Amino acid sequence: MQQTELLLRCKLLKGFGYQKLLQLAGCLPGKLNDLTLRQILELDLPPGAEKAVRAAFSNRFDRTVARILCQCQVISYFDDIYPPQLREIYRPPLVLFAQGNLQLLQKEIVAIVGSRTPTEYSREVIQKIAPKLTKDNWVIASGLAKGVDGLAHQAALEAGAGTIAVVGNGLNYYYPIQNRNLQEKIIKKGLLLSEYLPDTPPRPFRFPERNRIIAGLSQNLIVTEAKKHSGSLITANLALDDNRNIYAVPGPISSPLSVGPNELIAAGATPIVDLEMPLRNI
């Protein structure tokens, strides 16, 4: 059994959460190998892991694993296709579920985030900046939420480029439901990504967890419109912690949706004052 399947099977175990999975992953060989149960049990496993590994090797999860692999692709921290920049972040996702073009993970990625209720200003900026970004071979990533996220994905697709949507639920959910058609287009022409098992419903606490992946995937992050203390600013702060380049679209000081970007600029983010300006590589 290879490391990816082992981690997937352990992820299916009740009570075997991220920390235990991380401890187990830290004991496994760094390159993908076909490992026997005996070889794994001979490793210096953390307390409680031996029982989990034995359970993972049993046939009790065979049908579930087969069903998951029919629905989506599964990659882990050990796979070559795993994004190298994600390895750098705090709490990197150990197992990822994907539908679409995994090769997008190996390209330079810029995240665009912002308000769920943007004004026409965000739409105008995104529609003008997306063709420039895709022409410069940037892949646009976002979170498939209402508002700016959806605008960013749609603009990328309209520009004829791939886009990466990171969601806070299992891949077989459509959330929000109004983005169902967009989600299906992304699966065909881009990449849908999640760290959650299929059938995992969307819950509020999962979106900040999702945001760390958006921030970690990208070399650059752009905030269009966002209120003070919004989820977009959480993503920007996570990206800053990951040493990513932060860009913000300045706006009128009278607009509540410009408070977030303007504060980012005051704190040192690069203002987007020219829609033709190139982004930096890290």
Q: 150 with 226, same domain?
A: yes
Q: 173 with 230, same domain?
A: yes
In a domain, 277, yes or no: no
Among the three residues 30, 49, 71, which one is the final residue of a domain in this structure? 71
pLDDT of 282 reads: 56
Does residue 235 contact residue 214 with C-beta atoms inside 8 Å?
yes
In a domain, 91, yes or no: no
Q: Supply the DSSP string of 244-282, one letter for each residue.
A: -EEEE----TT-GGGHHHHHHHHTTPEE---TTPPPPP-
Does residue 225 contact residue 114 with C-beta atoms inside 8 Å?
yes
> Which domain range does residue 58 map to?
3-71
Nearest to 121 by CA among 235, 247, 261: 261
In a domain, 80, yes or no: no
Q: 10 with 133, same domain?
A: no
Distance of CA 120 to the CA centre of its chain: 26
Q: 36 with 120, same domain?
A: no
Q: 61 with 129, same domain?
A: no
Among the three residues 53, 71, 89, which one is the final residue of a domain in this structure? 71
Does residue 12 contact residue 61 with C-beta atoms inside 8 Å?
yes
Torsion, CA 234, CA 240, CA 243, CA 246, rounded to 10:
110
Nearest to 104 by CA among 76, 71, 82, 79: 82
Q: 128 with 240, same domain?
A: yes
For the domain that residue 236 is a member of, what is the CATH number? 3.40.50.450
Q: 169 with 221, same domain?
A: yes
What count of Cα atoms within 13 Å lies in the side-chain half-sphere of residue 223? 36
pLDDT of 30 reads: 85
Does residue 85 contact residue 107 with C-beta atoms inside 8 Å?
no
Q: 39 with 131, same domain?
A: no
CB count within 10 Å of CB 38 equals 7
Q: 144 with 66, same domain?
A: no
In a domain, 126, yes or no: yes
As given in the structure block, the two tokens for residue 243 are: 């040493």
In a domain, 195, yes or no: yes
Q: In this structure, what DSSP letter does residue 20 have?
A: H
Does residue 235 contact residue 248 with C-beta atoms inside 8 Å?
no
Residues in CB range of 198: below 8 A, 6 or more apart:
67, 68, 71, 72, 97, 170, 171, 172
Q: 153 with 214, same domain?
A: yes
Three-state DSSP at 193 gives: strand
Q: 127 with 181, same domain?
A: yes
As given in the structure block, the two tokens for residue 103 are: 């090769």
In a domain, 81, yes or no: no
pLDDT tens per residue across all 282 residues of the chain: 999 999 999 999 998 999 999 999 999 998 888 999 999 999 988 888 888 899 999 999 999 999 999 999 999 999 999 999 999 999 999 999 999 999 999 999 999 999 999 999 999 999 999 999 999 999 999 999 999 999 999 999 999 999 999 999 999 999 999 999 999 999 999 999 999 999 999 999 999 999 999 999 999 999 999 999 899 999 999 999 999 999 999 999 999 999 999 999 999 999 999 888 888 775
- The domain tally of the chain equals 2
The H-assigned helical ranges of the chain are 3-11, 18-27, 37-41, 49-57, 62-71, 120-135, 148-158, 180-189, 206-217, 231-241, 259-266
- Partners of 193 in beta bridges: 98, 166
Q: Supply the DSSP string of 42-67, one letter for each residue.
A: TS-PPTTHHHHHHHHHSGGGHHHHHH
Q: 137 with 40, same domain?
A: no
Sign of CA dihedral 35, 40, 41, 42: positive
User: What is the pTM assigned to this prediction?
Assistant: 0.95
Among the three residues 26, 55, 71, which one is the final residue of a domain in this structure? 71
In a domain, 170, yes or no: yes
